[in-house]
Amino acid sequence: MLDSIPSFARLVAELAKFPGIGKKTATRLAFFLLRQPRAEAEALAGAILELKEKIGFCSRCFHITESDPCPICTDPGRDEGLLCVVEQPQDLIAIERSRSFRGRYHVLQGALSPLDGIGPDQLRFSELLQRLKGGAVRELLVATNFTVEGDATALYLAGQVRPLGIRVTRLAHGIPTGSDLEFVDDATVNRAVEGRRDL
C-alpha cells in the first residue's frame, strides 16, 4: 500500500530500523512528522546530522564527547585516584545521574563474550592498563553489568589489575532501594540472600 508513496515508505523503512520500533510504530511516527511544520522536521534532521558530525569518543576514557578530552576527564574537581570501569556510555551516564561517584571513568565499549568474538583486544583494555600504569589510580571500581559476561569481564580485569597493586572493587548488587521485597524477582532475592552482610 505504501509503495505508491515512495518517500513515505522510505521514511517508514528507515524508522523501523530503530531498536524497539516495528513497522506499525514507524508508520505512526512518519504520520506525526508529516503533520509537523517544516521547521520541526528540519530541526530533527539537523539534530541527527549534528550528532554524527560532532560526537566522537574521548581518547582518554572512551565516553562519547564533543570535545577531546571530554569534560569529565578535564574536570579538576574529580578524584584522580578513583577510576570506574563501565561497559557502555549509557552505564556511565546512569552513575553520573546518581551523583554518588566523583572519580573518573573508563568505558570498555563492551564486555567479554567469546561467542560473539569479543575478547580483550576488541575492548578498551590495553588503554585502561596504560592509564593504570600511570600510577595515579588507587582504586578501580568495576561497574560492568551483572550478567554472566559482565561478571567474567570484572574477574578478568581483577586478574590483570591486582598485580599492579591497585585495589579492585565491584558494585554491590541485590534488592533495589525503595522496593518491596515481595515484588522482587526470585533470582535477585536469591543473590541478595547469598550476598547478605553483617549489621
Partner 1 sequence: MRLRELKLQGFRNLQDLRVEPSTGFNVIWGDNAQGKTNLLEAIYLLGQLKSFRSNRRETLIKIGRDEARLSAGICMSGVCHRFELLLTREGQSADIDGKRIVNAAEMLGRLKTVLFTSEEISLIRGNPGGRRSLLDRAIFQTNSGFLQIARDFQRCLKQRNRLLKLAAEDAQLRPWSQKLAESGARLRQAREIFLQRLRPRLRDCYRTICGGTEEVDLGFSERIGLTTDDLLAELHRTAARERQYQQTLAGPHRDDLQFRIDGRPLKNYGSQGQQRSFLLAFKTAQVLDLEEQTRQSPVLLLDDLNSELDSFRRNAFFEFLLAHRGQVFLTTTDISSLRERDLNPIRCFEIKAGKVQPDPSMDS
174 binds partner 1 (CB under 8 A): no
- Closest approach of partner 1 to the CB of residue 185, in Å: 9
168 binds partner 1 (CB under 8 A): no
- Closest approach of partner 1 to the CB of residue 145, in Å: 13
Of 109, 113, 122, 145, which one interacts with partner 1 (CB under 8 A)? 113
H helix intervals, the chain? 6-15, 23-35, 38-54, 71-74, 89-98, 125-133, 148-161, 186-194
187 binds partner 1 (CB under 8 A): yes
As a whole number of angstroms, the distance between CA 43 and CA 54 comes to 16
As a whole number of angstroms, the distance between CA 81 and CA 136 comes to 6
Q: Which range of residues in 65-73, 86-94, 108-116, 135-143 is near partner 1 by CB under 8 A? A: 108-116
With 0-12 CB in 10 A as exposed, 13-18 as middle and 19+ as buried, what is 166?
middle
115 binds partner 1 (CB under 8 A): yes
In the complex with partner 1, the residue whose CB is nearer, 57 or 120, is 120
The three-point CA angle 135-129-67 to 5° equals: 90
Judged by the rule CB under 8 A, the positions of this chain that interact with partner 1 are 112-115, 119-120, 148-149, 151-156, 159-160, 186-187, 190
